[in-house]
Chains A and B, each alone.
Chain A
Amino acid sequence: MKRRVVLVDDHDLFRAGVRSELGDVVEIVGEAGSVAEAVPLIRELDPDVVLLDVHLPDGGGHAVIAQVAPERPGVRFLALSVSDAAEDVIDVIRAGARGYVTKSISGADLIDAVRRTADGDAVFSPRLAGFVLDAFRSGEAAVDPELDTLTAREREVLQLIARGYRYKEIAARLHLSVKTVETHVSAVLRKLQLSNRHELTRWAAERRLI
């Protein structure tokens, strides 16, 4: 069964590119170029996965997640961006995106990421893993009650993702099952999402990210 995907991106060219790369593997059921277009479309189509641009002309991708997620808990969001700015990553992951990949991702990797997002797994690009490691780094020195520290295993998994390892390779290296690796990554994602806005702003400010 093909996954049903909605593309939300304000660049027609980029949408066309993604469509031609994914078109055979997944079913692209709808496209939108703004928050205002995307919200009713996703509500109506109830897709498996929404590929969501972080930057949209009438608000960020996080606005789409915030408006849709409460009513459509089954819809999963994968953020795509050309931006490296840490705030963008914070916003979209905080809002509930299951992952974050940069737009330079290869077609094969994007297909894999969509599949994993649809299965409910967290999709960490090496860049996101590096960012998250950075975020939790000082968390172990200065005890931050809101931002739980990572376990040694979670840290190990994130480091391997940052080094460019795929989940399967991580599993082989750490003698774990792929499912366990995915569980660790999801746990990291949850720890990020659980911490409240205020705390996130504070740690970002302390780490001079914003």
Chain B
Amino acid sequence: MSSPYRLPLALPGLRRAEGDGAIAGVCAGIARSLRVDATLVRLTFALLAFAGGAGVAAYAGAWLALATENGPRPSPRRRLLGYAALAVAGAIALRGFGFSDSLIWPATLCGAGILLARGRSGIPVVVGLSLAVLGVIVFVDQNASGNGRDAAFESSAVAIALLLVLGPWAWRLAAERDAERTARIRSQERSEMAARVHDSVLQTLALVQREAGDSRRVAALARRQERELRAWLYPDPRTDGAGLASAMDAAATEVEELHGVPVELVRTGDVPLDDRLEALVLAAREAMANAAQHSGADQISAFVDVGEDEVAIFVRDRGGGFDPEAVAVDAHGIAESIRGRMTRAGGTAALTSSTDGTEVELRLGRHA
């Protein structure tokens, strides 16, 4: 949270940069806070030193009033002394430049008021405000001719003083509120994260400890947790949550949970679901469930390939395989849930099985 421009009088991070400085780091600190070159600031102070020694007084004042980078705030007394030196420096400088006393004293009062109001607590702000108002009134008093002094003039003087004092102060407050807001958002994110971890990961870990004896169950728990966490940490930008990809994710997760066999699902591309694609997902789910129940394999591979013209899904296991002819009679799952479904949707289903395992190949044209 930083703005490229900073109101010079607000200077929120003004510190003496002792390490970088030539004397006490006043110029280096100011330069850093203003984001300008330190030489420029030093030159200004040097020039001011010729104006009746104002630069020297100002430097001494800043030295007294400013804290070092990591050091504590100077004592109130030291600060007050510093501010006084600064005010005197301002007065000397103005005088040195040839301004009349009628301008110098009001300006000095205003300046001291503004410096005081940089603090956050109430009393210095009120005192600072009063000083600034006094400064403006004195200025008006000394410069306006007797006839010109009217109520409107007085009140505009007060308004200017308010603006001078409260402007930087309000600026500072706004900056602090922004910083607080950022911190709050960050802490909200953190607690959301903690809640998520608690609801999912910690619960799963507790379950894992309780069921440590049942390795299949533990693996399934870990697997499910992994999927959940993954989906949360790395949401897939290619899917909108309502397409084929998400439907297959859900189907694979269901099979894993129902039968305790992990499904390694790989997919490319995504298409919006329609009735035919839903039939395809159901057929694929049946194929995965069959593999999980009957193959004896400890893992199932599923690959969803969304091509230009067709969508193909391959479900493969490395189980013992079977003879499709021999089980065809009562294999309702294969005949009806896979073949029948695919045929009705206008697609095809092919099954190959050997002692190396079984693969079901489902294909469906993208345009009916």
The residues of A with any CB-CB pair to B shorter than 8 Å are: 82-85, 104, 106, 126-127, 129-130, 133-134, 137, 159, 162-165, 169, 207-209
> What is the CB-to-nearest-CB distance from B128 to chain A, in angstroms, rounded to a whole number?
49
> What is the CB-to-nearest-CB distance from B302 to chain A, in angstroms, rounded to a whole number?
8
Across-interface contacts of A130 in B (CB, < 8 A): 266-268, 303
Q: How large is the interface on B (under 10, 10 to 19, 20 to 34, 35 or more residues)?
A: 20 to 34
A209 x B238 contact (CB < 8 A): yes
Given the known A-B contacts A134-B269, A159-B303, are A169 and B234 also in contact in the complex, defined by CB atoms under 8 Å? no
> What is the CB-to-nearest-CB distance from B172 to chain A, in angstroms, rounded to a whole number?
37
CB contact between A85 and one of B234, B262, B266, B359 (< 8 Å): that residue:
B234
Across-interface contacts of B305 in A (CB, < 8 A): 133, 159, 162
Which of B238, B267, B303 has most A Cβ within 10 Å? B303
CB contact between A164 and one of B237, B262, B264, B269 (< 8 Å): that residue:
B264
CA distance A208 to B264 in the complex (A): 23
A83 x B234 contact (CB < 8 A): yes
Report if B105 contacts A (CB, 8 A). no
Report if B314 contacts A (CB, 8 A). yes
Within 8 A of A (CB), among B230-272: 230, 234, 237-238, 262, 264, 266-269
A84 x B303 contact (CB < 8 A): no
Report if B316 contacts A (CB, 8 A). yes
> What is the CB-to-nearest-CB distance from B353 to chain A, in angstroms, rounded to a whole number?
14
CB contact between A207 and one of B238, B299, B318, B359 (< 8 Å): that residue:
B238
Q: Can you give 24 contacting A-B residue pairs, CB < 8 Å?
A: A83-B234, A84-B234, A85-B234, A104-B226, A104-B262, A106-B299, A126-B266, A126-B303, A127-B264, A130-B266, A130-B268, A130-B303, A134-B269, A137-B269, A159-B303, A162-B266, A162-B303, A163-B314, A164-B264, A164-B301, A165-B316, A207-B238, A208-B238, A209-B237
CA distance A102 to B125 in the complex (A): 62
CA distance A47 to B356 in the complex (A): 35
8 nearest CB pairs, A to B: A164-B301, A130-B266, A163-B314, A134-B268, A163-B303, A162-B303, A164-B316, A126-B266
The residues of B with any CB-CB pair to A shorter than 8 Å are: 226, 230, 234, 237-238, 262, 264, 266-269, 299, 301, 303, 305, 314, 316, 318, 356, 359
Across-interface contacts of A104 in B (CB, < 8 A): 226, 262
Across-interface contacts of B226 in A (CB, < 8 A): 82, 104
CA distance A126 to B269 in the complex (A): 15
Q: B237's closest neighbor in chain A, by CB?
A: A208
B234 x A126 contact (CB < 8 A): no
A162 x B359 contact (CB < 8 A): no
Which of B264, B268, B299, B318 has most A Cβ within 10 Å? B268
Q: B305's closest neighbor in chain A, by CB?
A: A159
Across-interface contacts of A84 in B (CB, < 8 A): 230, 234
> What is the CB-to-nearest-CB distance from B282 to chain A, in angstroms, rounded to a whole number?
20
A129 x B356 contact (CB < 8 A): no
Given the known A-B contacts A84-B230, A126-B264, are A169 and B356 also in contact in the complex, defined by CB atoms under 8 Å? yes
Q: A129's closest neighbor in chain B, by CB?
A: B266
Which of A104, A164, A169 has most B Cβ within 10 Å? A164
CA distance A85 to B305 in the complex (A): 19
Q: B316's closest neighbor in chain A, by CB?
A: A164
Q: A103's closest neighbor in chain B, by CB?
A: B226
CA distance A104 to B230 in the complex (A): 13
Given the known A-B contacts A84-B230, A164-B316, are A126 and B301 also in contact in the complex, defined by CB atoms under 8 Å? yes
CA distance A162 to B264 in the complex (A): 10
Across-interface contacts of B318 in A (CB, < 8 A): 164
CA distance A75 to B349 in the complex (A): 45
Q: B301's closest neighbor in chain A, by CB?
A: A164
> What is the CB-to-nearest-CB distance from B15 to chain A, in angstroms, rounded to a whole number?
31
> What is the CB-to-nearest-CB distance from B191 to chain A, in angstroms, rounded to a whole number?
24
CA distance A133 to B306 in the complex (A): 10
CA distance A85 to B236 in the complex (A): 8
CA distance A169 to B262 in the complex (A): 22
Across-interface contacts of B316 in A (CB, < 8 A): 163-165
CA distance A165 to B299 in the complex (A): 13
Across-interface contacts of B269 in A (CB, < 8 A): 134, 137
Across-interface contacts of A83 in B (CB, < 8 A): 234
CA distance A140 to B209 in the complex (A): 50
Across-interface contacts of A134 in B (CB, < 8 A): 238, 268-269
